[in-house]
Amino acid sequence: MDGSPTPDAVILLAKGGYGEWPQCELDGMLAAVRATRRYPHVEGAFLDSGAPPFPSVLRELAERGATRILIAPVFVPLDRSLREWLPKVVRRSLKKHHLEKVEVVLAGPLGERPELGEAVVRALPAADSGPDVREGAPRDVANQWLKPPPHRHHVFMCEGPRCATLGSHELFVRLRERLAERGLAASENEAGEGVLAVRSSCLYPCNLGPMMVVYPEGAWYGALNERGIDRIVDEHFGNGRPVEAHLRFQPLPSQDGMRSRDRAPGAASP
């Protein structure tokens, strides 16, 4: 022990991904850590591509009265970008809500702790179950996953760490819902008039986030919010009219570069 006060809250920080698996794994680890009753508050949060996002969990714990919060990266590489970026997110998030007095500390990489290895070894016998992985697995995939569904627009919603901080995961969920409501999801629009919407990692103009780019037009949208998403679905995808209020870049007429819309409201750098 180094004499530091014991944290009264812990955030298990994870990196998101596709499907339910990241959520399931984090939920399992959360339950295990909570069962130890070592800390009064233990919550999970995703750095990107998942919910709840880290800034909202941080704020919620601070508002609930936590005075020292320990961030424990569990499924996330504790790399240089995280070390440099995380302090900015913490500073901005707590300052915005006047919670600067809360102390926030970052745990070292848990994967390097021998205790973690011992815990894994203890857990393995119970987790070791089931038949050979090849049993029951589909063999014939010749006709699957060979071509994209027909579509008119291809959309990349940034779920990199900075845009995720600004709510891009929730916006992606809303985009998918709105497209489905309007029959514009590519997977359901057999006429090929739909939108193939996917998530991406950082698209680079982080300070203008949340960012989304639409092809074939090459329309880069920024400072997105729920209303902006609804308008883009209705006006751009529904009627072919890009939404100027959120348009940040578009290709030059010669197609040999990008022209700024010379408009950069919205998000500040985390």
Name which position in 151, 153, 162, 248 contacts ligand FES (CB under 6 A).
Answer: 162
CB of 104 to ligand FES, least distance (A): 21
Cβ closer to ligand FES: 14 or 213? 213
DSSP per-residue letters across 192-258: S-SEEEEEES--S-GGG-S-EEEETTTEEE-S--HHHHHHIIIIIIHHS---GGGEEEEE-TTSSSE
The mark string for 111-150 relative to ligand FES (x by CB under 6 A, - otherwise) is ----------------------------------------
Q: How far apart are the C-alpha atoms of 67 and 135, rounded to whole Å?
A: 51
3-state secondary structure of 55: helix
Cβ closer to ligand FES: 66 or 197? 197
User: What angle separates helix 80-96 from helix 54-63, to the nearest 10 degrees?
Assistant: 50
Contact criterion met (CB below 8 Å) for 85 and 77: no
For 24, 127, 157, 206, the CA distances from 124, given in Å and listed in that order, are 17, 5, 37, 41
203 forms part of the interface with ligand FES (CB under 6 A):
yes
Record the tokens describing residue 1, joined without a space: 């022990």
DSSP code, position 159: -
Chain position whose Cβ is nearest to ligand FES: 160
User: Quick one: which segment of 4-12, 30-38, 174-182, 196-204 binds ligand FES (CB under 6 A)?
Assistant: 196-204
160 forms part of the interface with ligand FES (CB under 6 A):
yes
206 forms part of the interface with ligand FES (CB under 6 A):
yes
Name which position in 205, 231, 248, 249 contacts ligand FES (CB under 6 A).
Answer: 205
CA atoms 267, 88, 206, 17: torsion sign: negative
The mark string for 207-236 relative to ligand FES (x by CB under 6 A, - otherwise) is --x-x-------------------------
198 forms part of the interface with ligand FES (CB under 6 A):
no
Which residues of this protein are in contact with ligand FES, per CB under 6 A? 158, 160-163, 202-206, 209, 211
